[in-house]
Amino acid sequence: MQFIVFIVSCVALCYGKSLDTSVADAASNATVLHSGLSEKIGNFSIEVLFHTSKTLQDGENFIMSPITVWSVLSVIAEGASGTTRKEINNLLRLSVRNRDATRIGFRNITQWLQVNTNTVQLAKINAIFVDKDRLPLQDFQEIAKYYYQTETVPLDFKDSEKAASVLNGAISNITHGKIPHMVDASYFQGTQMVSTSALYFKGQWTVPFNSSSTTKMPFYDTHGQKMGEVNMMYNRYTYPFSNIKALQARVIELPYGSENRLSMIIMLPNPGVSLEDMFANFKTVNLDTFFEELRLSKEEYSDDEVDCFIPRFKIKSDLDLTNVLKNRLGVVDLFEPSKAQLPFLSRTPLYVSKIVHKAEIEVTEEGTEAAGVTAAEFSNRIGVVQFQANRPFTYMIIEKVTNSIVFGGFYKTPSLY
């Protein structure tokens, strides 16, 4: 029997100035989770972003949530054995000997992926929807729930319309209606279970963009040729900023809320350097070193203002990750009916038919009426660093206590949004 994996995520980024201070102290006093499992998840996240981008049409913009992909695969690995488990663990950078540490480590990380304040919301849900007549093994259900916060939801798969309605309702609820339709009744035909992982984020900028400063500006390709135009937002602030030579990129951090918990990091390759070449540099640039450079930059240049220009944009992605995992990341047996080994998940032979990921991101300055002057009035001021995302760039939303990449994607082709 087959089962299907769905991963869904939604980001809404915008809306005004932050007023809350509720969890700043808690975050600063938290146990440091930047090493060990968090670093492994981070390296996986960079890898899956890079290889997913290589499977898309040339110039296609996309958004995904790497940590939800890692979460789903790690739960499946708990039910796997033999080559199936080995292939998944190799990709996730895990070992059977450290399984207990992995379980506890991920449970600690997920506690930081739940935020609900006046200006920042981050919520996730993991669930396995299963035919009520073919429940997973009890031990697997308990491990999935305790360590991975993955609930088992029994449904009558014979009533495929109702099963689809329940699943879609759960996804719509966690994404606040942004992704109301994930599956239809056909997904439940010949399927024993459907695994889902959903992540929702909505954040207000710590310092709002002034909507009156947004203006139409050109957007160029890697080689400096004009591709089109974007509605370019503008702000001046003491943003953490670094020119990371080993990465061949300029990097800026745009914070959300007042808790210093979540930020958008934008990496702009140097002129003449493609996004793919920049990402390839992560082979030699440790992810923790990357974050450390940003931290040191903030300490050393905390009073230096940056003129920041980023496009207003909206991206929806509907990704089939099956081929990415099989052909680029070495997870093969999981998708083969005759080879998949999932004996700790179910007594009935199972394989995964596909892993589907839907995500949406919206980045705007809507609702802000901050005092300020136009971009043109700042453009020639001496001594101010300028960060202008007017050529292809990559963006990531980071949970900073754990350094988790909760969302990431590429912006390659301009659009007037």
CATH number at residue 91: 3.30.497.10
Give the pLDDT confidence score for residue 345 in this predicted structure.
93
Domain assignment present for residue 323? The answer is yes
pLDDT at 374: 27
Which CATH number fits the domain that encloses residue 392? Answer: 2.30.39.10
Asked if the structure places residue 43 within a domain, the reply is yes
C-alpha 211, offset from chain centre: 26
Query: Looking at residue 31, what is its pLDDT?
Result: 42
Q: How many helices (H) and strands (E) does the chain have?
A: 11, 17
Question: What CA–CA distances, in Å, run from 209 to 152, 267, 294?
Answer: 42, 19, 22
Residues of the chain with pLDDT under 70: 1, 6, 12-35, 366-384
Task: Answer for the pair 84, 339: CB distance below 8 angstroms, yes or no.
Answer: yes
Residues 269 and 146 reside in one and the same domain: no
pLDDT at 257: 86
CB 303 within 8 A of CB 238: yes
| 325 and 303 share one domain | no
Q: Are 309 and 65 in contact (CB under 8 A)?
A: no
What's the pLDDT at 203?
86
Specify the pLDDT at position 253.
93
Instruction: Looking at the structure, tell me whether residues 343 and 303 fall in a common domain.
Output: no
- 195 and 293 belong to one structural domain: no
Give rounded-to-5 percent helix, strand, coil for the chain: 35, 30, 35
Q: What does the pLDDT read at residue 70?
A: 93
Q: Is residue 288 part of a domain?
A: yes
Which of 372, 338, 333 is CA-nearest to residue 235? 372
Based on the fold, state whether residues 279 and 380 are members of the same structural domain: yes
Residues forming a β-bridge with 216: 231
Residues of the domain holding 176: 2-204+314-362
**pLDDT, tens digit, for every residue of 6-21?**
677 777 655 444 334 3
Q: What is the pLDDT of residue 79?
A: 95
Is position 417 within any domain? Answer: no
Residues 348 and 327 in one domain: yes
Domain count, the chain: 2
For residues 164 and 31, state if they share a domain. Answer: yes
Report yes or no on 380 lying in a domain: yes
pLDDT of residue 210: 86
Domain boundary among 342, 362, 382: 362
How far apart CA 397 and CA 62 sit, in angstroms, is: 14
58-89 pLDDT, tens digit each? 999 999 999 999 999 999 999 999 999 999 99
Give Cα separations from 393 to 16, 42, 319, 417 (angstroms): 24, 19, 20, 17
136 and 262 housed in the same domain: no
SS3 at position 259: coil
Q: What are phi and psi of 3, to 5 degrees?
A: -135, 155
Q: Tell me whether residue 416 is in a domain.
A: no
CB atoms within 10 A of CB 272: 11
DSSP conformation class of 389: -
Residue 336: count other Cβ atoms within 10 Å of its Cβ: 12
How far, in Å, CA of 237 to CA of 305, rounded?
5
Are residues 217 and 83 part of one domain?
A: no
Is 29 exposed, middle or buried (CB count within 10 Å of its CB: 0-12, 13-18, 19+)? exposed
Q: Is 89 in the same domain as 186? A: yes
Is residue 81, in this structure, part of any structural domain at all? yes
- Give residue 160's identity as a one-letter amino acid code: S
> With contact defined as beta carbons under 8 Å apart, do 93 and 117 qualify?
no
Give the model's pLDDT for residue 41. Answer: 93
Are 284 and 144 found together in one domain?
no
What is the rounded distance in angstroms from the CA atom of residue 409 to the CA atom of residue 267? Answer: 11
d(CA 247, CA 209): 28
**In 3-state terms, what secondary structure has residue 202?**
strand
The pLDDT value given to residue 217: 96
SS3 string, 182-199, reads CCCHHHHCCEEEEEEEEE
Sign for the CA dihedral angle at 236, 237, 243, 244 comes to negative
Q: Would you state the pLDDT for residue 21?
A: 38
Type and span of the H or E element at 24: helix 24-28
Asked whether residue 246 is assigned to any structural domain, the reply reads: yes
Q: What is the pLDDT of residues 306-348, one digit of tens each?
A: 999 999 999 988 888 999 999 999 999 999 999 999 999 998 8
**307 shares its domain with 337:** no
